[in-house]
Amino acid sequence: MILKRISPKRVTSADNFPRQYLHPKSNEKLLLFFAGWGMDEQPFLHYSPVGKDLIVAYSYTDLLLDERLLAGYREIEVFAWSMGVWAAAMVLPELQNSNYPISTCTAINGTPFPIDDEKGIPAQLFKGTLDTLSDKTLEKFRFRMCGSKDLFNNFLDKAPQRDIEDLRTELIAIEKIASTKSATAFQWHQAYIGKEDRIFHVENQKRAWSDTAYTIIDATHYPEQLFKHLLK
């Protein structure tokens, strides 16, 4: 897992500094955002929360989290999107046990069950994505994720800078980890479900969040307007 702290200074993939020194802690409050599969920091560089730092987590080839970046904050608000919901659910209990000041945890268009016919992405669909992954199928996936030509083109303007083999490695790792480690009993405070989500189907999300307060929103899988509202 990679963590990147976002600041008004634009971060690019050309930065060669150690992760923990990219941008020093500058506020007492932190927004910790677990992005989805295939992401990096690029789609979220323009978010500049007022009075809070923003750290983006991505690349779930492992679930090792560099806690040094989280040290020293008075309050940590957690938001997780898509496959990031599963990744967050796997690492947050340990953070809570280590007394990190996590105040709220919000899930967005994802579930703690990454490969699940009833509560996540159906196994056949996940396998098909992995088996056929290419530049062409990735483009189709991103279009389904965005749901409209305008949002798709907007996403492409700030698309992640990762290659197909890197994304394939991440999918393989998610499949392997999910098959050996079950979802935790971690309790989320709330969940948002996009009624036009074509990645994590609405009914599967509803089943996954049967014991959690959730809100149905008018959004596709990539809910940019909700991100703008929450990551501020």
- Residue 11 confidence (pLDDT) above 50: no
- Residue 60 confidence (pLDDT) above 90: yes
Helix (H, G, I), strand (E, B) or coil at 37: coil
Q: What is the average pLDDT across 216-228? A: 96
pLDDT of residue 183: 67
pLDDT of residue 185: 74
pLDDT of residue 48: 82
- Residue 40 confidence (pLDDT) above 70: yes
Q: Quick one: how far is CA 206 from the chain centroid?
A: 19
Q: Report the side by side order of strands in the sheet with 102-108.
A: 2-6, 52-58, 29-34, 75-81, 102-108, 190-194, 214-217
Q: What is the four-CA torsion angle of 71, 73, 76, 80, rounded to 10 degrees?
A: -40
Q: What is the DSSP string of 90-118?
A: HHHHHHHHTT--EEEEEEES--S-SB-TT
Helix (H, G, I), strand (E, B) or coil at 159: coil
Which residues lie below 8 Å from residue 167, measured CB to CB, with a gap of 6+?
A: 37, 38, 133, 138
Q: What is the average pLDDT across 171-177? A: 96
Q: What is the average pLDDT across 48-61? A: 94
pLDDT band for 15, please (50, 70, 90 cuts). very low
- Residue 34 confidence (pLDDT) above 80: yes
Task: Answer for the pair 195, 202: CB distance below 8 angstroms, yes or no.
Answer: yes
Residue 178, both tokens: 């999910």
- Residue 161 confidence (pLDDT) above 50: yes
pTM comes to 0.90
Query: What letter represents residue 15's amino acid?
Result: D
Q: Which residues pair with 216 in a beta bridge?
A: 193
Query: What letter represents residue 81's amino acid?
Result: W
